[in-house]
Amino acid sequence: MVVQAQEGQLTDIARVLVATAVPAERDAVAHGVREHPGIDVIAVGVGPAAAAAGTATALTRAELTGRPYALVVSAGIGGGFTAAPGAVLVADAITAADLGAETPEGFVPVTDLGFGTVTHRPPASLVRDLAAATPCAVGTVLTVSTVTGTADRAALLAQSHPGAVAEAMEGFGVAEAAAAHHVPVAEIRAVSNAVGPRDRAAWRIGDALAALTDAFGKWAPVLESWKNT
């Protein structure tokens, strides 16, 4: 399902695809960009595999209809390493934190094994423009297949990725699909909980979704007007 900001003909604005995991995130973003016809918002499913498949399908469909996207954004809520619930974050790197192999010496990323990639980098100019449009933290957003649920795991991730500001489950999958279609990618997250021991009572999903709506309301003009130069 594609949620469009509104019906209408596009002129010189970029077509932007925003991929979220679940409908609640999709609806939060769509509410924020409802006045911006160049932005389509879809829910692609939970986890990197579903995110990659859903995003690739949407990009292919757009290309076949002669209306390709100029930018893809992975968006939703996620866990924050230091930021409080309700904070918004922009990725300057999108990294798969658990793609690789366990060895007696510790975890080895797939790149160190001699193939693949573990990090996609959004365009620096877009990151700067988003950060200038509304207060936010900028840093690495980790993609994990298993959400962190212990203090030990959180500490290990923070040590292995000193620039990490958040973890989520879809960014790297969205980025892989975007790269395959030669489309730039960004990732935006609103913090719903702290990365660490799993405490559902402390989660602030409603606050995070509201922050996502507010942030995209401010960021929509930046996304539509940004040019990949």
**In angstroms, rounded to a whole number, what is the distance separating the alpha carbons of residues 180 and 183?**
8
pTM, two decimals, is 0.90
Which one-letter amino acid corresponds to residue 214? D
Sequence-ordered list of residues with C-beta below 8 angstroms from that of 64, at least 6 positions apart, any chain: none
State how far the alpha carbon of 161 is from the alpha carbons of 81, 95, 106, 130, in Å.
11, 9, 14, 23
Domains and CATH numbers, the chain: 2-224 (3.40.50.1580)
State residue 4's pLDDT score.
46
pLDDT confidence band for 2 (50 / 70 / 90): low
Nearest to 184 by CA among 129, 124, 110: 124
What percent of the chain has a predicted confidence (pLDDT) above 90? 80
* 104 contacts: CB under 8 Å, gap ≥ 6: none
Instruction: Give the confidence band of 211 by pLDDT, cuts at 50, 70, 90.
Output: very high
Q: Is the pLDDT of residue 183 over 90?
A: yes
